[in-house]
Amino acid sequence: MATLVFDIETSAQPLENFDEAQQEYLFRETEKIDDAIAKQAKREDITRFMSLWPLTSQVVCIAMLNAESQRGQSLFVADDFDEVEEENAPVKFIPCADETELLTQFWDVAKKYDHIVTFNGRGFDVPFIYLRSALLNVPISKKNWLGYRYACEPHCDLAEQFTFYSVGGQGGAARRFNLDFYCKAFGIESPKSAGVTGNDVSALMAEGKFREIAEYCLRDVRATVELYKIWKERLAGIK
């Protein structure tokens, strides 16, 4: 059974997209702070978190690979992109005019797979794309990725698997680390080795460096594929 491994990148929407009442709601906590410097710091903190919330953010890239064939696509939102891809390249970089087109293309690919692998997809990627698709009225071709948590089918979330479903909590032997930490621990090239992290996505969007986002997202997916192989060979089946 073919396995789809994917990852998403998100970026906050401009504040002007939200009316006065929405902005008041978003920054309500800052009104409790009297110190001007602390208030501004809290406002900046909330603004950073806006890229993680589906109602205040948008999907700007989805990279995906077939775990078996290593072929796939990196879909990304771009204002303008003229670079010509190699015809037989194993991974195609596909610019999309907007988020709606990106999600539509993603769900068209996803419907061909019965099994997916993510890193923290249950906690972030999947609910995020479900809500963004609903907001944009993009048909969702797979609605069973948030089913029974303690199962690897159809969704194997490696963040869940390497923590044995958070047994022992953050203070236990199976505390959760980020993908970069797991990669370094298991000898996999970190997706952050090129110097780009998820925190850079909004700035790269503003600078028009759309292809760099797509390449970074693909590195995340490649690392997830390698971590999945290790889990499958060494840890799958532990209960």
On whether residue 239 sits in a domain, the answer given is no
**183 occurs within a structural domain:** yes
Q: How far apart are CA 129 and CA 124, in angstroms?
A: 9
Could you list the pLDDT tens digit for every one of the 239 residues in the chain? 699 999 999 999 999 999 999 999 999 999 999 999 999 999 999 999 999 999 999 999 999 999 999 999 999 999 876 665 666 789 999 999 999 999 999 999 999 999 999 999 999 999 999 999 999 999 999 999 999 999 999 999 999 999 999 988 788 888 999 999 999 999 999 988 877 888 889 899 989 999 999 999 999 999 999 999 999 999 999 87
Q: Tell me the two tokens of residue 125.
A: 């990627």
Strand partners for 9: 61
Q: At a CB cut-off of 8 Å and minimum separation 6, what does 164 contact? A: 174, 238
Q: Which residue has the tokens 């998820």?
A: 198
Would you say residue 84 lies in a domain? yes
CATH number of the domain residue 180 falls in: 3.30.420.10
Residue 54: give the domain boundaries.
3-234
SS3 for 100? helix
Amino acid in the structure at residue 39 = K
The answer to whether residue 176 is domain-embedded is: yes
pTM: 0.94
The H or E element containing residue 42 is helix 36-49
For residue 89, what pLDDT is reported? 87
Q: How many domains does the chain have?
A: 1
In this prediction, residue 239 carries a pLDDT of 79
- How high is the pLDDT of residue 196? 81
